[in-house]
Amino acid sequence: MQEVFRGLEPERVFWWFDRIAQIPHGSGREQGLSDSIYEYFRKLGFSVTQDQHWNLIIRKPATAGYEQAPAVILEAHLDMVCEKEADSGHDFDRDPIRVLRDGDRLYADGTTLGADNATGVAFALSILESETAVHPALEVVLTTGEEAGLTGVKRLDFSSLKGRVVMNLDCSDEGIVVAAPGPRWSGWSLQASLNAPAESSNSTDCGCPGFWADTAGCISAWAGATPT
Ligand SMILES: [Zn+2]
């Protein structure tokens, strides 16, 4: 992991953020990142599928005690917006994002950082590979072309997905946004832990207290995919 990420927690989330930043992944250029994630989880023995649009579906069985809970889809988009300063020589087809740090603030050298949506992808993949998180069966869906009109998710074959609970992981100015399919935005607070079951009276009722808590006030929200 690059020195700029040292000491940041959750460590594994930033490990993934670093890895994602190393591989060009603007809209329409996601194949390298998609291939990299595909190979990583395939070698670990996960069930992974990649379609011709480079969308990925990665599955993980429920942990002990949660086999009867409904499967949950974690969805995030792989692509980032590619913008740079006028005098930047950055090539989004070839160059890794050069990440800089000021205290706890990460930013990029003359370009967009790609935190939208490296953050959501990093959280999803960290949960997948965690050996301590408790959860129901997971289906991590990583889509392409979100910033270019949802082109990946519109071509995704939903027929293989068993989950009917969708949590969309994306970013905004407030930080990471966890959303579910619905007609409008709403504001709600979230405290997340990858490692310990939540001790909260406001835990969601989806049978997945390992990494969701304090969702009080949730009304509805938006997501890029709605399984039918
Ligand atoms: Zn986004």
Residue 226 pLDDT? 38
Q: 47 CA distance to ligand 1 centroid (A)?
A: 25
The H or E element that residue 38 is part of is helix 31-43
The domain locations on the chain are: 3-179
116 is catalytic: no
Considering only CA atoms, which of 14, 80, 83, 12 is closest in space to residue 4? Answer: 14
Question: Distance between the two ends of the chain, CA-based, in angstroms?
Answer: 40
Residue 133 pLDDT? 94
Residue 43, pLDDT > 50, answer yes
Range of lowest pLDDT (8-12, 42-46, 157-161, 212-216) = 212-216
What proportion of the chain, given as a percentage, has pLDDT over 70?
75
Considering only CA atoms, which of 168, 116, 119, 178 is closest in space to residue 147? Answer: 116
Selected catalytic residue, list 30, 79, 116, 139 = 79
Residue 221 pLDDT? 34
Average pLDDT of the segment spanning 141-150: 94
Residue 177 pLDDT? 65
Residue 7 pLDDT? 92
Residue 171 pLDDT? 80
- Which architecture does CATH list for 3-179? 3-Layer(aba) Sandwich (3.40)
Across 192-216, b (16+ Cβ under 10 Å) vs e yields ebbeeebeeeebbebbbbbbbbbbe
Q: 19 CA distance to ligand 1 centroid (A)?
A: 18
Sign of CA dihedral 19, 171, 78, 98: negative
Q: 79 CA distance to ligand 1 centroid (A)?
A: 8
109 is catalytic: no
Residue 210 pLDDT? 35
Across 124-162, b (16+ Cβ under 10 Å) vs e yields bbbbbbbeebbbbbbbbbbbbbbbeebbbbeebeeeebe
113 and 81 Cβ atoms separated by less than 8 Å:
no
Tens digits of per-residue pLDDT, 107-126?
Answer: 999 999 999 999 999 999 99
Could you give the CA distance from residue 37 to residue 88 in angstroms, rounded to a whole number?
29
81 and 116 Cβ atoms separated by less than 8 Å:
yes
Residue 107 pLDDT? 94
Could you give the CA distance from residue 136 to residue 209 in angstroms, rounded to a whole number?
9
Selected catalytic residue, list 30, 75, 146, 170 = 146
Residue 126 pLDDT? 96
Place of tokens 């006030």: 217
Could you give the CA distance from residue 27 to residue 151 in angstroms, rounded to a whole number?
9
Confidence label for 192 from pLDDT (cuts 50, 70 and 90): low
Q: 168 CA distance to ligand 1 centroid (A)?
A: 10
Kindly state the tokens that stand for 88.
Answer: 């930047």
Higher pLDDT, 6 or 180: 6
Q: 225 CA distance to ligand 1 centroid (A)?
A: 13
Residue 189, pLDDT > 90, answer no
Question: How crowded is residue 225: how many other Cβ atoms within 10 Å of its Cβ?
Answer: 21
Which range has highest mean pLDDT (54-63, 101-110, 179-188, 219-228)?
54-63
CA–CA distance from 190 to each of 36, 37, 175, 218 (Å)? 30, 27, 11, 10
Kindly state the tokens that stand for 83.
Answer: 């913008």
Give 47's strand partners.
Answer: 59
Residue 74, pLDDT > 70, answer yes
Q: 76 CA distance to ligand 1 centroid (A)?
A: 8
> How much is the mean pLDDT over the chain?
83
Higher pLDDT, 161 or 221: 161
Q: Which residues place a Cβ less than 5 A from the ion ligand 1?
A: 116-117, 170
Confidence label for 15 from pLDDT (cuts 50, 70 and 90): very high
